[in-house]
Amino acid sequence: MTTASSTPRRVALVTGGSGGIGRAVVERLAADGFAVAVHYAGNKDRAEALVEEIAAAGGRAVAVAGDVADEKAMEAAFDAVEATFGGVDVMVNTAGIMVLSPVATLDLDDLDRMIRTNVRGTFVVSQQAARRLRDGGAIINVSTSVTRTQLPTYGGYVASKAAVEGLTLILARELRGRDITVNTVAPGPIATPLFLEGKDEETVAAFSKAAPLERLGEPRDVAESVAFLAGPARWVNGQVLFTNGGLA
């Protein structure tokens, strides 16, 4: 499913693009003039509704499906975007899952799920991007500020996101000579269903006061950082950008 007709200057593929941070990234990049591929794993209706919204605003978009940890599915997703828009310039990996538990009691099946989506998924998509992005492009991964704040119960999740940061730093150096930047955005507490699930009002209120700006971040705050890295930030490469309102 595609929309509109003019040929865009740049094309972005956003995994997990139909909700939360991914949706905000899609909306911001579309507003910046990108043609956007909205990737989804299970919610086709939500992805296609977002595509229609972008069309109504005069943009171009397509919905693409697939398990990010499945290399064949992601190869097919890139094929679909290239067939529709002619190529891919920016890859944004927002797809991810989070299960919170002390290390001592974390269900290892939940750990496996996080590793599969957050680590293998980011690796698979980054691998396709490294092979297929046009020169002058950008790969933007998503980590978490908890790699620095080390909050209890985040052990499994942080382990997966620390791997994403390590992958980012290596891939940036492997793509020498291509003019492709590779960076990670590490949000602080963001008011998304992924963050809010399972937290009571007292816990959410405490998180909202943790940063000097004394509020939870919004998905659009992260989208601003992604847009910076996807567009003008051509001298920022191999970095982790903490987008957290000053959280220590």
List the beta strands (DSSP E) in the chain. Answer: 11-15, 35-40, 61-65, 90-93, 138-142, 181-187, 240-243
Give the residues across from 187 on adjacent strands.
243
Reduced to 3 states (helix: H, G, I; strand: E, B; else coil), residue 64 is: strand
Residue length, the chain? 248
Phi, psi angle pair for 231, to nearest 5°: -115, -90
Residues 38 and 22: their CA atoms lie apart, in Å, by: 9
Residues 5 and 65: their CA atoms lie apart, in Å, by: 22
Cα angle at 25 between 66 and 63, to 5 degrees? 35
Q: What is the DSSP letter of 186?
A: E
Q: Which residue do the tokens 């990737």 mark?
A: 39
Question: Which structure tokens are listed for 108?
Answer: 């290892």
Annotated active-site residue 154? The verdict is: no
Sign of CA dihedral 110, 114, 120, 125: positive
Question: Is-contact 50 26, C-beta < 8 A?
Answer: yes
Question: Which structure tokens are listed for 49?
Answer: 């509704």
Out of 157, 195, 207, 242, which one is annotated catalytic?
Answer: 157
Q: Which residues are known to be catalytic?
A: 157
